[in-house]
Structure 1
């Protein structure tokens, strides 16, 4: 370096830019919203998972793996305690709703949240085995979980999670470098026959096909389209700045008395985020996550991301208060795999 000259090179990571933008945006929205109007419950639903994912973007492979294991153990414990709660206080394995859908009380307020928990359990267990090179040794466990998820979906009658699980399983099965996984369906035919018999009994006992045919007579989008139309109307009332970066942290209620609509649940993750942080905030949040896993091999990251996005179009997977951590667990898996590929560790 020449005397009297100082060369300063600053490399700003896109992750820092997105984090800075997100923090400034939240501060501005908080400042604009009267304290008694802030919906802290709805804010927590988006803010906590988003900040957690931003935090995960800065972690290395070992740190991410530790976080993954912690959340995985939390999920296992949560499900075990939920079964114990039902057994002690309800003298049964599941609770039953007024519309004949089974669920675990401690997993959430609806049957859909029970299905979500078991879907995440299966996905995280599969990747846990991948990361620990133990997929071949644990075929029985994976097979048991596969049929467990199917039976839970039957009991909960959750059309969304049946669809998501089918999409995830199909994508993982057809993508490369997972030949062991493709073949595990053929593994130990006697065990599969036994599980299939149990599943058939479950279908007959619950009258699943009759119930499903009744539910399928109503479109998966029934009621949702009307809510989305009300959202479109509400967008027309926003200023250009509010459309881009959000209006406030108040609860956004969509209301139409003629159609009997009054709800703050848009049944759409992207609309949920846009309502709070604007369309620009939504795009930047998604983009900041995707660029962090862009180099990872698609066979292990795409099934999670595609299934998650499809879920996001028909519901908001960010749940409070019980299962707020499950989507953090799902979304750090592609990050963890990217770190594993980019910086191999033993």
Structure 2
């Protein structure tokens, strides 16, 4: 399948490393408004480089596009590419609002095009191991799950620092953990959030409890940016009836009851970093869907759109200081796989 990559920044760099390990996907062109970035990416991938998306699509006629642009450009770019009947891989978030996300779903359904969203955590070995441990009750039933991610200040001039373009830590970082909880348990019945936003100094924080009817486990996720030199960190702690599973500083450890701690061996990725493993796996799923092959899907466009719905409810809860109902009406169309 012939792919054109739109955007040649940091996220695209991870995708390029993945494409070099996926022979069935051929990157035929890359586009970025920064001519140096486009040129360098073109040399790396051995493909044509453009600074104009429409010109690239007119000339190269790809089968699919991979959108690695800043998130405030996702909706407009996805809709333009759907109008050209292209299959689309789009980095998260699919859009900045649930209304926009639903528009994308309807247009993709109308045109019969595949939409794959880069909710990459679902494909990470460390998080897949967490999901398996919960589902098979390796250490008994889940009692408490806490997911976290934190980061310091972005560079001056970055679009992340512009409140007109960035929906702060909730949509740019917290989305990963919210989406993973959605992937395991579906839409919560209620969310109960606290948070604070001070865009001027890039201070952004949200913490949420996800409430499911009849569930005994306590599920929480928090994320934040700070005006600091703090390095990026993400992880989880899952407390079970008879043990604890923790992901911290890039290592997964198990703490069974009445046994010593042990590190979990996740070397099936042959030494490839987890972030690249995740991108490889999600791009392979995208390719299989676009080619019409049967595949066990880890993320559907509908599920990714549901994550945006949950995030909106979390922000509403934080603003109003009370728990908010998260249930929604079912879509008319069947979920695409």
Q: Which category describes the TM-score, using the shorter chain as reference length?
A: under 0.3
- Give TM-score, length-normalised by structure 1: 0.25
Q: Which has the larger radius of gyration?
A: 1
Determine which structure has greater relative contact order: mean sequence separation of CA pairs < 8 Å that are 6+ residues apart, divided by chain length: 1
- Give TM-score, length-normalised by structure 2: 0.25
Structure (1 or 2) with the greater strand fraction: 2
Structure (1 or 2) with the greater helix fraction: 1
